[in-house]
């Protein structure tokens, strides 16, 4: 199963990704996570290159993102499928992925687009908390059962540093509308679009995605 999942920040991409990779036994490739991990390591060149973009909520230039993603897709564990979370975010990125997959003979099976209104995104992002270890998503409204410790793996549940500034969040939503949303039409034309209402519960959203796929 070759999948991409798109949606504004706060749509529930991370929440659904954890479920989808378990169901289809495919690796999760989240560009935002790759960048945040690189930024934590002060010796890492990639971290230094992407910091100014991630910190301000702007998109990292296509050339750099494409290079990182295609290098990841050349690794053995992606040969039977993958879920790309947060990529593509521009037409250039989508075209580079298509070219790579068609050369490999494994075209995309589904482009899942989760839709939520901007104010729902804002509210969810500012209240979002994530397990630093397994990536399971919580929120201020639905915290883990005990003291910000993950119910699933015992990891520490924390805020994401790029989620905490309202101006940054607005900038990311604007980028999504301007640069990523047009990809809906791109994938519709290629007959792989799976459009989902993200305001429903995580279980309902998951079951709709699986049925559509």
Binding of ligand AMP at residue 172 (CB under 6 A)?
yes
Stretch that binds ligand AMP, among 30-38, 41-49, 96-104, 139-147 (CB under 6 A): 30-38
Q: How far is the CB of 89 from ligand AMP (least distance, A)?
A: 4
When the beta carbons of 31 and 137 are compared against ligand AMP, the nearer one is 31
What is the rounded distance in angstroms from the CA atom of residue 213 to the CA atom of residue 20?
A: 11
User: Is residue 193 a contact partner of residue 184, using CB atoms and an 8 Å limit?
Assistant: yes
Q: Which one of residues 7, 8, 12, 32 is an interface residue with ligand AMP (CB under 6 A)?
A: 32
Q: Which one of residues 3, 9, 113, 209 is an interface residue with ligand AMP (CB under 6 A)?
A: 9
> Which structure tokens are listed for 84?
């790309």
Using CA atoms of 197, 200, 203, 209 in order, give the dihedral in degrees to the nearest 10: -10
Binding of ligand AMP at residue 135 (CB under 6 A)?
no
> Which structure tokens are listed for 38?
């690189």
Among all residues, which ones are annotated catalytic? 13, 89, 128, 160, 172
Strands 82-85 and 193-197: unpaired
Q: How far is the CB of 130 from ligand AMP (least distance, A)?
A: 10
Binding of ligand AMP at residue 65 (CB under 6 A)?
yes
Residues between 72 and 131 with contacts to ligand AMP, criterion CB under 6 A: 86-87, 89, 93
Strands 193-197 and 110-115: parallel
Q: Which one of residues 31, 78, 121, 137 is an interface residue with ligand AMP (CB under 6 A)?
A: 31
For 103, other C-beta atoms within 10 Å of its C-beta total 8
Q: What residue has token string 């290079």?
A: 67
When the beta carbons of 164 and 207 are compared against ligand AMP, the nearer one is 164
When the beta carbons of 120 and 207 are compared against ligand AMP, the nearer one is 120
What is the rounded distance in angstroms from the CA atom of residue 86 to the CA atom of residue 32?
A: 7
One symbol per residue from 142 to 161: x for binding ligand AMP (CB under 6 A), - otherwise; what is it?
A: --------------------
Q: State the alpha helices, DSSP H only, in the chain.
A: 13-24, 31-40, 45-56, 62-73, 91-104, 118-126, 166-175, 183-189, 202-212
Judged by the rule CB under 6 A, the positions of this chain that interact with ligand AMP are 9, 31-32, 35, 53-54, 57-60, 65, 86-87, 89, 93, 162, 172
């Amino acid at each position: 199963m070759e999948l991409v999942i798109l949606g504004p920040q706060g749509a529930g991409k991370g929440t659904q990704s954890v479920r989808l990779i378990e169901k289809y036994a495919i690796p999760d490739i989240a560009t935002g996570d790759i960048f945040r991990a690189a930024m934590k390591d002060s010796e890492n060149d990639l971290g230094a290159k992407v910091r100014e973009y991630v910190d301000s909520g702007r998109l990292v230039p296509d050339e750099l993102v494409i290079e990182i993603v295609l290098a990841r897709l050349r690794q053995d564990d992606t040969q039977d499928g993958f879920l790309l979370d947060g990529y593509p975010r521009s037409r250039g990125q989508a075209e580079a992925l298509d070219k790579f997959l068609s050369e490999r003979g494994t075209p995309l099976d589904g482009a899942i687009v989760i839709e939520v209104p901007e104010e729902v995104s804002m509210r969810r992002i500012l209240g979002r908390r994530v397990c630093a270890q397994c990536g399971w998503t919580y929120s201020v409204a639905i915290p883990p059962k005990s003291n910000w410790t993950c119910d699933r793996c015992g990891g520490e549940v924390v805020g994401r540093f790029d989620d905490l500034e309202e101006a940054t969040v607005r900038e990311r939503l604007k980028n999504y509308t301007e640069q990523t949303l047009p990809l809906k039409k791109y994938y519709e034309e290629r007959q792989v679009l799976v459009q989902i209402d993200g305001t429903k519960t995580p279980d309902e959203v998951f079951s709709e995605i699986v049925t559509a796929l």
